[in-house]
Chain A
Amino acid sequence: MRVMQRRYVSIWFRQLLADWQVIRRPELSGVPFVFAAPDHGQMMITAVSTVAQGFGVEIGMRAADAKAICPGLDVLDDKPGRPQKLLKGLGEWCVRYSPIVAIDEFGMDGLLMDVSGCCHLWGGERGYLKEIVSRLKSKGYTVRLAIADTPGASWAVSRYGKVTPLIPEDGQVDALMNLVPEALRLEQSVLAKLRKLGFYQIKSFIGMPRSVLRRRFGEDFLLRLAQAIGTENEALIPLQVPVPFSERLACLEPIRTRNGIEIAINKLLENLCRRMQAEGKGLRSGVLTCYRIDGKIAKVDIGTSGASHSVSHLFKLFQLKIDQIRPALGIELFVLDAPKVDDVEVPQEEMWSSTPGLDDKSVIRLIDRVGGKVGFQAIHRYLPATKYWPERSLLKAVSVTEKPQAAWRVDKPRPTELLKMPVPIEVMAIIPDHPPKFFIYKGVRHEVTKADGPERIEREWWLDKGEHRDYYQVEDDQGGRYWLFRSGHYGSGQKYKWFIHGFFA
């Protein structure tokens, strides 16, 4: 089998900052302006607009000098890190063309994309490049593109190529021959050395022995050269790590209706679930990304409590979220990712009816649906904690299948309803250390007729400070049963308080 030829596209934004500024402030389109940042106490120019370029203003000039040769020049403040931010946004937008998009770290003015196997979707490489150029142009960016077998060659051709941006397969060496050494992404010191020696084109040194080149120009130079001609691999660091389980659906017409979105989700799920089923995997979390034609991105996500590759179940979960998708003018591309998948236990053909329980399939689906609608933080299951302090006697279960580590205690009475916070009450107790004679809670006086206790519960002194509690189980003359406690010792000079903490059945 022939390995698929890898293809890379380099996008060069010729005036990234200037274009961006004009998009933001259209009134600047005919005005010469520059970006400048302070460097060693002087304002140095970092980006130049097209109009200003006509006056001979260049990057690296002092802002004061530029003002002298170009009257009326607007000097804008540059912020460090702005190109990264812009490229990140543009790169995320470009994910529609290829899943692997990386920022060009060398020049910080372009993007590199691994487009292997992507171009045919736009009718070949020519159409693909044309589409990207025209779309970016309509946004307001002037770009140059090139496609080649290596990121290095595409980078070189996009910036310095003069013939064609389409470098055929295995044609990168020929394409590089006539280019200047700058096209190899080299350091300034190496470039100066090359110029001094009279190497103005790559072809004048590409045939020289490696040992000679290494001695003269260093290991880095050889690496860059090898990366450009393809003898060395260059790994791109993608902006978004591509998900192994991912499906995309491009639409001919923008989708705007709920019905259309439902059909799209169903189609994506069918493909995704077929793949997951074949590999014995199930979805634990899914993200649907909708690329709108106005450039915005709408995202919804779902989660399941157990791995599932059932189209109908996952579809129902997405159905609850469709309301959150704002299609605006229309959605042109749907991408369904499954960032988290798990092995799914293939259920045995149902020979005997399944035993009901927490892991019953219908129960798990119910939990997923409720979790999808109101959030999984609303769903709790409790396990016994080996602690006496009532507020800490429960553990929240992490998963549906988690089993209790200890037995539930039944030796001490516990109220069926527990107040979140104990409420202070007024009591009257005749004898110290006895249950109260009566207590007043919410303005109602309860005459205590029967009582049990006290049960002393100590605080966990290694966790918090405070008084212990003496709990009494009391019953009033009406039959109401309450859980009261006295905080602290009964004694002279010491503060103690009575609280109500719960109701017994």
Chain B
Amino acid sequence: MDGKRELFQKLQQDILLWQGFKPLSAGKAERIGLGEIEDAFPGNVFPKKAIHEFITILPEHSAASDGFIAGLLAVLMENGAACVWASTSRKLFPASLSHFNVEPERIIFMDVKTEKEVLWITEEALKCEGLAAVVAEVNSLSLIESRRLQLAVEASGVTGFILRKDENKTSSTVATARWRISPLPSVTEDGMPGLGFPRWQVELLKVRNGNPGSFVLEWAGERFEEVKKAKKQPVWAGAEGRQIG
């Protein structure tokens, strides 16, 4: 039985390698500061060379997603690289990014008129190796479009974040991960009045070759902090039964 399991794990490792997931190199862990959430990804590494989808229907959701992405950008842009933010109807207030340790002047906003132009810009930007990340706000994303973006990402290594406003066609993209970030009531220390740190329900709806789950996260001024272990709902528990697809 053990021999069989070892064989499965070996095969899985090989497949992941082919699919572009970097295995965790011994000793040197490239953490992005998401704590336990990173363990949901194959190899326990947050995939940077990938497309991440965020489902944002309500403005509260998109505001929360913006904050979550900003927290990730802080790490991705640490080396001084720039980021492109493409949208047709951008509401993001650049000044707020500095609250998430992101220098807003390093974000290049491209505000265009049509969705088609957003997708074109996103694809061109994802091919541009000098960027750290690309954020695109779209209404919908078709399978073919997402595939094109994925191919661009695989060549360049730029992280792509897609904010999607429709929920209906959720299953038809090839994004590596699909997230839903919803706001949660904040908690202040010792019941002090006022608002606490922004707190979110981070739902990892889909992870290719990983374990989807749900987490509660807080932006603690400087970094993400996991609040408590939410009830995990893995499709298959354990390492041998990971979600394939």
Contacts and interface: CB of A to CB of B under 8 A. Distances in A.
Chains A and B come from one and the same complex: yes
Interface of A: 355-358, 360-363, 365-367, 369-370, 373-374, 378-384, 390, 393-394, 397, 403-404, 408-410, 413-420, 449-452, 473-475, 477-481, 502-505
A20 B195 CA distance: 79
B117 A357 contact: no
B82 A360 contact: yes
A356 B81 contact: yes
B184 A362 contact: no
A449 B183 CA distance: 14
A417 B62 contact: yes
Given A363-B128, A383-B105, A479 B183 contact: yes
A473 to B, nearest CB: 6
Nearest to A357: B80
Nearest to A446: B60
A366 B98 contact: no
A469 to B, nearest CB: 15
B132 interface: yes
A379 B110 contact: yes
A208 B86 CA distance: 78
Nearest to A397: B105
Contacts of B183: 478-481, 505
B67 interface: yes
B145 interface: no
Given A394-B94, A477-B185, A504 B198 contact: yes
Contacts of A409: 95, 98
A378 B111 CA distance: 5
Contacts of B111: 378, 380
A152 B92 CA distance: 66
Given A383-B105, A479-B186, A355 B66 contact: no
A378 B110 contact: yes
Contact of B98 (A355, A403, A410): A410
B3 interface: no
Given A357-B80, A370-B121, A378 B112 contact: yes
A416 B63 contact: yes
Contacts of B215: none
Interface of B: 59-60, 62-64, 66-68, 70, 79-82, 84, 91-100, 103-113, 117, 120-121, 124-125, 128-132, 182-186, 188, 193-195, 198-200, 219
A383 to B, nearest CB: 5
B11 to A, nearest CB: 36
Contacts of A379: 108-110
Contacts of B106: 357-358
Nearest to B86: A370
B165 to A, nearest CB: 13
A473 B195 contact: yes
Given A478-B183, A481-B195, 20 more contacts: A355-B80, A356-B80, A362-B130, A362-B131, A363-B131, A366-B124, A369-B124, A370-B121, A403-B105, A409-B98, A410-B99, A413-B99, A417-B59, A417-B93, A450-B193, A478-B60, A481-B186, A502-B93, A503-B60, A505-B100
Of the listed residues A363, A504, A505, the one surrounded by the most CB atoms of chain B closer than 10 A to its CB is: A505
Nearest to B94: A382
A375 to B, nearest CB: 9
Nearest to A402: B105
A436 to B, nearest CB: 15
Q: In terms of DSSP, what is the predominant structure of the interface of chain A?
A: mixed
Contacts of B185: 449-450, 475, 477-479
Contacts of A397: 105
B124 A357 contact: no
Given A479-B182, A480-B60, A358 B93 contact: no
Contact of A451 (B97, B184, B195): B195
Contacts of B193: 450
A475 B128 CA distance: 40
A503 B61 CA distance: 9
B99 A414 contact: yes
Contacts of A420: 91
Contacts of A505: 63-64, 66-68, 70, 96, 100, 183, 198, 200, 219
Nearest to A501: B93
A380 B110 CA distance: 6
A475 B110 contact: no
Of the listed residues B70, B82, B97, the one surrounded by the most CB atoms of chain A closer than 10 A to its CB is B82
B129 A362 contact: yes
A450 B188 CA distance: 10
Contacts of B95: 382, 384, 393-394, 408-409, 414
B186 A450 contact: yes
Contacts of A403: 105
B63 A363 contact: no
A481 to B, nearest CB: 6
Contacts of B107: 381-382
Contacts of B91: 417-420, 503
A416 B108 contact: no
17 contacts: A356-B132, A357-B80, A362-B131, A367-B108, A379-B109, A382-B105, A397-B105, A403-B105, A404-B105, A409-B95, A420-B91, A450-B193, A474-B195, A478-B60, A480-B183, A502-B63, A505-B100
A451 B185 CA distance: 12
4 shortest A-B CB distances, which residue pairs?
Answer: A505-B67, A360-B130, A503-B63, A418-B93
Contacts of A415: 63, 93, 96
Contacts of B79: 355-356
A363 B109 contact: no
B132 A381 contact: no
Given A379-B109, A379-B110, A381-B109, A363 B82 contact: yes
A474 B104 CA distance: 25
Contacts of B66: 416-417, 505
Contacts of A503: 59-60, 62-63, 91
Nearest to A365: B128
Nearest to A404: B105
A369 B121 CA distance: 9
Nearest to A413: B99
A480 B198 CA distance: 10
Nearest to B117: A374
Contacts of B219: 505
A62 to B, nearest CB: 61
A413 B196 CA distance: 12
A373 B124 CA distance: 12
Contacts of A450: 185-186, 188, 193-195
Contacts of B98: 408-410
